[in-house]
Structure 1
Amino acid sequence: MGVVKNRPGLDAPDRLSARYGGVPVIYVESEDDYYVFGECWFKDRLSHVEFIPAARQCGFSGCSAVVAAVADARSAGNSAWGIVDRDTVMSENLWHLVDETNDAIYECAKPFGTEIKALCRWEMENYLADGNAMEKCRAEIKSQPPRLSVTVYDELLNHCQALIPHAAMNAVCHLHRVEGLKDGYVKQKHLSTREDVDAEIRAGKLTRLPSSAAADYAQQTAHVDAFDLPGETPRARVNALLRRVHGKALLARFAAMHSISIDLKGLLANRIREMALVPAELASFVDEVATGG
């Protein structure tokens, strides 16, 4: 998905100015993002900053809508910012940033301009993948006592490891301009380990691509593996891998393993707020915008 598209509805500066009333706006990619950020995690900042799903402003959604909305709002003289998922850098074929494991270097790059925050983690859902909040939700839904944090993070590390070939294969699919693996692909019960997922990909999706894709897959797997921190605690390794594995797939896999049929995103967002676990990366950005930084 490119960041430059037709931008219907964004050529009315007077309407934009009237909408904001002097409060800085942060555009986000989707209604889900709006709920998590605007209605949950940062609702106490709403007198200083406003969150708006980009589709409400320009008629289409996603990273390109955020970039377009911010550009047009600023051209109209309004204070506007944006948040886009890390997967945007892959959409734009910025592979040096897709593979960048140094967060300081990644954040300094600002590929979409200084007013666009490109998340360090792959997508918004990766910030919902907090082990303690996930376990609290699981325990409540199943009417069971919560497990120890170390037990939960051992499980999440196994899930993240299984998602490494999934992320690598989706990068290969992007390279070859074919549809990637769905987020629900790895929640199948026979794909319980990384080795299972890797074997399934090699026997399936990879065989339907040109022969060069095998080398691409090996290379992309190595790139995703580079985000891991062998020797560190499971929690540290999970948080490191969340920069590159797909969060929606992780939540789907966790829910399937525990026979949870409801969408966990809203519950997780609220539990993270209640448990004072809102990620510092996001809180710092929102505070900077709210205080005019």
Structure 2
Amino acid sequence: MGAVKNQPGLSAPDRLSARYGGVPVIYVESEEDNYVFGECWFKDHLSRVEFRPASQQCNFSGCSAVIEAVAEERKAGNSAWGVVDRDTVMSKDMWHLVHETDDAAYQNSQPFGSEVKALCRWEMENYLADGEAMEKCRAEIEMEPPRPMQDVYDELLNHCQVLIPHAAINAVCHQHRIEGLSDGYTNRRFSTRAESEACVQQDKFPRLPSSAAADYAMHVSRVDAFDLPGESSTTRVTALLRRVHGKALLDRFSAAHRIKDNLKGRLANHVREMARVPSEIALFVDQIAASN
């Protein structure tokens, strides 16, 4: 029980139940993730499972903190699990998983062990990028009737297409260890993918080696491989959410509609109210809760 014994103020015999309430703990990357999972989507599970930001265990946050927190707790004999974004596999240079378009193969790979779930979508925000919830938020804020879902997903598909060069160049930047583009880089600047493509190359290529042009072309084709041309806009957006950056998508949507509110909390609650919590995450949490 070393990891628990080292916690100040937790030297009493019942320290484990005092800290965890006797239920398994699921570590997440940030306070925002903790709010989405623990306060919104799975608040009715809290008698059987507890969510915690990994920073409470490791004094730093993010994917590495989750992996470390789970490892430390399990080594100490505690029941601990974790959830990390898909971008974690890029941070660890697991490029075969960054590019994996077969969801079953990706999930079966379990790159960080069976106790740490690596999400199929790029970031937690990609699960908040739910067309019905986004349109409900927009309509409420703008005090307008909601648009048809076809129109909403056509718009989201255009945003995703603009963000393909953004995702590709950020992969190149990570590969060459230079700072990538911000999530808000494409906001209200580009209406088409071609405009986005021209600018990301212009802004980043001068700071990269000559080989970066070939790297970029490869990464564009890899991101494009997640798309499903010929399918509906809804299907294509869902497919691309595995690879484009969700924070950037939410930023573009907010900028396009001049929404100044932080949409994440609203979206998390609407997703739950509309019974649209992603089954991928719900299954993982339900299995942990049922094992207690």
Tell me, yes or no, if structure 1 residue 249 matches structure 2 residue 264: no
How far the C-alpha of 1:88 sits from its partner, in A, is 0.2
Amino acid at match of 1:167: A
- What does residue 133 of structure 2 align with? 133
Give the corresponding residue for 1:159. Answer: 159
Q: TM-score, normalised by structure 1?
A: 0.94
Q: Is 2:187 aligned against 1:193? A: no
SS of the aligned residue for 2:82 comes to strand
SS at match of 2:117: strand
Tell me which residue corresponds to 2:276. Answer: 277
| CA displacement, residues 161-220 of structure 1 (integer Å, 9 cap, x when unaligned) | 000000000000000000000000010x23111111001012221222111100000000
Deviation larger for 200-209 or 78-87: 200-209
Paired residue type of 1:12: N
Letter in 2 for 1:25: V
What residue identity is the alignment partner of 2:90? M
Residue type of the partner of 1:197?
S
Identity value in percent: 67
Gaps of 5+ in 2: none
Q: Note if 1:265 corresponds to 2:256.
A: no
Give the corresponding residue for 2:79. 79
- Report what 2:28 is aligned to: 28
Does residue 3 of structure 2 align to residue 12 of structure 1?
Answer: no
Alignment partners' CA distance in 1, 2:205 and 2:190:
16
> For residues 219-246 of structure 1, what are the alpha-carbon distances to aligned partners after superposition, in whole Å with 9 as ceiling and x for unaligned?
0000000000011110000000000000
Give the Cα–Cα distance (whole angstroms) in 2 for the partners of residues 69 and 108 of structure 1: 22
> How far apart are the structure 2 equivalents of 1:10 and 1:248?
35
1:130-183 deviation line (CA, Å, top 9, x unaligned): 001000000000000000001000000000000000000000000000000000
**What residue number does 2:171 align with?**
171
Q: Counterpart of 2:287? A: 288
Runs (4 or more) in structure 1 with deviation over 2 Å come to 9-18
Aligned residues: 284
Q: TM-score, normalised by structure 2?
A: 0.95
1:49 Cα deviation after fit: 0.3
One-letter code aligned to 1:251: L
> Which amino acid in the other structure matches residue 162 of structure 1?
V
